[in-house]
């Protein structure tokens, strides 16, 4: 296939054109509010004619700008960084409390009470931008951005423009003869600016990530909230598991043991009268005892499978693969045993993923991979089915993600429509 004319040239020029556009966009965003302040200063200086009056007039413009513009401008910067680099800069704004009418007929907005709903909404809008620490970080970025991100984005553009202007000025009349003395310097400056175009906006991104991301206290608070939620989820899961065990014992093995006792009592009464009936009761008792034993073994296997306790996670998953109705292959780079709770959690998560693949994927094969990672251990279950798996509300994957929170684990789902599906469970841990 023939390449279109100019293809390699466009490929070389694309990073420079892209850098110029992105640097220009960052320069506009970082200079937007300071530009408003400078324009207001010139306007009020012409209007009042005194520096004192101009200061107070500009102060009256600067404060509303710091309330109104930081959140949308910083939101635009976060979106651009995500689009350009693929790295998300999460915000840590406090959630807004719904405006609610109280029994006193006043409206509560999370900060104060107001007589009218629209006044309460307006107060919430203002106070959320005054009392929220994340909003103050946005204001700080807005003040620091012209000297950090703005300077980094403006430097290549300024060098390019200055060098190009110098070259044009030296070759434009007058003088009637081109000035060759300063042309190499101007060309070098312009070339330096062009070469820095793909770099300038990248230098501005770390400063934006540092100031626009959550602060250390906010990260710690989010971490604590996640741990508290994980502990609560683990408590609920343990309670549900205890109820399941109690229900299975009550409806299964306990009922059969009661039936065995009744059968033995009846056999004892009929021992001298009807030997045939006694034999039938003893046969039923033997069958019930075998069924009760089978149910107790299944129940024990649901708590901790014997192969998992005796031989570890890898062999337990291999035994699970042998029972799967689809062709299942297991590969592992894990060399050592893990802590028992971690092994149990990974085993049951893998069992649930295999069950989902068998029930819903309509595929023909399952591939299970167990690998060591920097954070801990990851188990990946992949199938060649129709895809479309997602952790929606009420789904088994959502419940699995909730249970993994107790281990500080993560669930990653890659399942485009049409397949294949690749789901990874990763839990931080150390080998024992």
CB 48 within 8 A of CB 57: yes
Q: What is the structure's pLDDT at 392? A: 63
Q: What is the structure's pLDDT at 182? A: 52
The CATH fold of domain 310-428 = Heat Shock Protein 90 (3.30.565)
Q: What is the structure's pLDDT at 374? A: 78
Sign of torsion over alpha carbons 285, 288, 290, 296: negative
Q: Which residue has the tokens 């819903």?
A: 360
Taking residue 218's Cβ as centre, other Cβ atoms within 10 Å add up to: 18
- Per DSSP, 98 falls in state P
Spell out the residues 6+ positions from residue 242 whose beta carbon is closer than 8 angstroms to its own: none
- Per DSSP, 4 falls in state P
Spell out the residues 6+ positions from residue 345 whose beta carbon is closer than 8 angstroms to its own: 403, 404, 406, 407, 409, 427
Q: What is the structure's pLDDT at 78? A: 85
Residues 429, 431, 432: CA angle, nearest 5 degrees: 125
Spell out the residues 6+ positions from residue 141 whose beta carbon is closer than 8 angstroms to its own: 70, 74, 77, 208, 211, 212
The alpha-carbon radius of gyration of the chain (Å, integer) is 35
Sign of torsion over alpha carbons 76, 80, 86, 87: negative
pLDDT tens for the chain, residues 1 to 432 = 445 445 566 666 677 777 777 777 887 888 787 777 777 777 777 776 666 666 666 667 777 787 888 888 888 888 888 888 777 788 878 888 888 888 888 888 888 888 888 888 888 888 888 888 888 888 888 888 787 777 777 777 777 777 766 666 665 555 544 444 455 666 666 666 666 667 777 777 777 777 777 767 777 777 777 667 666 666 666 667 667 667 766 666 666 677 777 777 777 666 667 667 777 777 777 777 777 777 676 666 556 667 777 788 888 888 888 888 888 888 888 878 878 778 888 888 888 888 888 888 788 888 888 888 877 888 888 888 888 777 764 556 777 777 777 777 888 888 888 878 888 888 887 654
CA distance 403 to 406: 6
């Amino acid at each position: 296939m023939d390449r279109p004319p100019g293809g390699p040239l466009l490929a070389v020029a694309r990073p420079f054109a892209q850098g110029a556009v992105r640097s220009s966009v960052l320069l506009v965003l970082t200079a937007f509010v300071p530009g408003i302040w400078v324009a207001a200063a010139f306007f009020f200086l012409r209007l009042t004619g005194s520096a004192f009056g101009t200061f107070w007039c500009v102060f009256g413009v600067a404060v509303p700008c710091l309330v109104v513009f930081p959140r949308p401008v910083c939101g635009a910067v976060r979106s651009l960084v995500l689009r350009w680099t693929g790295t998300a800069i999460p915000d840590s704004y406090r959630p807004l409390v719904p405006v609610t009418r109280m029994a006193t007929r006043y409206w509560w907005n999370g900060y104060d009470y107001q007589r009218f709903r629209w006044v309460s909404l307006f107060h919430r809008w203002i106070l959320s931008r005054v009392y929220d620490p994340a909003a103050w970080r946005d204001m700080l970025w807005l003040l620091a951005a012209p000297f950090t991100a703005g300077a980094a984005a403006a430097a290549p553009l300024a060098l390019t423009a200055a060098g190009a202007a110098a070259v044009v000025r030296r070759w434009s009349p007058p003088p009637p003869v081109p000035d060759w003395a300063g042309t190499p310097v101007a060309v070098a400056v312009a070339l330096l600016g062009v070469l820095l175009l793909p770099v300038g906006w990248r230098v501005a991104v770390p400063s934006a990530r540092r100031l626009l991301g959550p602060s250390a206290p906010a990260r710690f608070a989010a971490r604590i909230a996640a741990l508290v939620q994980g502990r609560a989820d683990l408590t609920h899961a343990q309670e549900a598991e205890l109820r399941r065990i109690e229900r299975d014992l009550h409806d299964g093995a306990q009922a059969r043991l009661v039936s065995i006792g009744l059968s033995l009592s009846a056999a004892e009464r009929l021992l001298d009268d009807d030997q045939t009936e006694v034999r039938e009761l003893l046969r039923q008792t033997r069958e019930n005892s075998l069924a009760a034993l089978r149910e107790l073994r299944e129940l024990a296997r649901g708590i901790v499978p014997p192969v998992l306790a005796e031989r570890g996670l890898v062999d337990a998953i291999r035994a699970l693969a042998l029972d799967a109705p689809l062709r299942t292959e297991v590969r592992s780079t894990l060399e050592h045993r893990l802590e028992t709770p971690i092994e149990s959690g990974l085993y049951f998560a893998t069992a649930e993923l295999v069950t989902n693949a068998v029930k819903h994927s309509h595929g023909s094969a399952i591939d299970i991979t167990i690998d060591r990672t920097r954070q801990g251990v990851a188990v990946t279950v992949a199938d060649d089915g129709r895809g479309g798996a997602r952790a929606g509300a009420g789904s088994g994957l959502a419940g699995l993600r909730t249970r993994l929170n107790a281990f500080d684990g993560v669930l990653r789902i890659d399942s485009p429509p049409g397949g294949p599906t690749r789901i990874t469970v990763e839990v931080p841990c150390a080998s024992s």
